[in-house]
Amino acid sequence: MITIDLSGNTALVTGATGQLGQAMARTLASAGANVIIHYRRNKSQADTLVREIKHMGREALAVQGDVTDEDSVKKMRYRITSELRMPDIVVCNAIIKYDWKNVLKQSLNDYESQFLSCTLHVVLMAQAFVPTMIKNKWGRIIGINTECAMQCNPTQSAYVSGKRGMDGVLRVLAREVGEHGITVNQVAPGWTISKNNPDSAATKSYCKQVPLKRCGTDREIANAVVFLASDLADFITGAYLPVCGGNVMPAI
């Protein structure tokens, strides 16, 4: 029988108070991991999620911080080491939201926000937490990318540029830390149904082009994250894994 058991592991999920972040935190906990809940502003939801995970019999800690700011990340790291333990699984999920426009009308601030919250975000997480993984000779870095990085559709430019920057950093990191037993991978969701993004006429139109003819769920994205965090994925690194019903298919 094949099972996923993350007992004894500690996972940090950035942006964990969003719908997808919550699903990932809960699913990691259900697999046995202790979970660090990162949030930027939604302390109430973070505290609720901590209580929920503790009720499952896991350790949990909520930490506030700005993942685009080096000093803030250092403070997060200090609090984590003081109150729980260093994570050996880091899921980079947080992102700054903005209004999508075409290239000629998109604010330069939006390009900067996507670089900071996608690309620099994973750099700061790696610098903060990978050294301990190297010392322990085991670790998992998982970036949440997007199918949009392959689609490059109109109005996606700022988002795509940030996520492609993330992709580049994580692929290089995979080569740099693989010898230490650390894997670095990406999960790329398609249009996902959740509490905050219910099924609608727009999603039905989108689903017509998807080979599986439906949208995914936040739990299905979380399942992919948990798989990559597990020993079942020991020999997978540098991967960009679309979880989008076949809507995008990386080519060889």
Strand partners for 186: 143, 240
> For residues 86 and 9, is the Cβ–Cβ distance under 8 A?
no
Q: Give how far the C-alpha of residue 188 lies from the chain's centroid of Cα atoms, to the nearest Å.
A: 9
Cα gap 101→83, rounded to integer Å: 43
DSSP per position, 173-187: HHHHHGGGTEEEEEE
Q: Catalytic one among 39, 98, 111, 159?
A: 159
Q: In sequence order, which residues have a C-beta less than 8 Å from that of residue 220 and are 6 or more positions away?
A: 192, 243
Cα gap 252→250, rounded to integer Å: 7
> What are the Cα distances from residue 248, in Å, to 169, 238, 244?
21, 18, 7
Answer yes or no: 78 catalytic. no
Q: Give how far the C-alpha of residue 78 lies from the chain's centroid of Cα atoms, to the nearest Å.
A: 21
How many CA atoms does the CB half-sphere of 32 hold within 13 Å? 10
Find the Cα–Cα–Cα–Cα dihedral 189, 195, 196, 197, rounded to 10°.
Answer: 50
Of 109, 124, 16, 133, the C-alpha closest to 71 is: 124
Residues forming the active site: 159
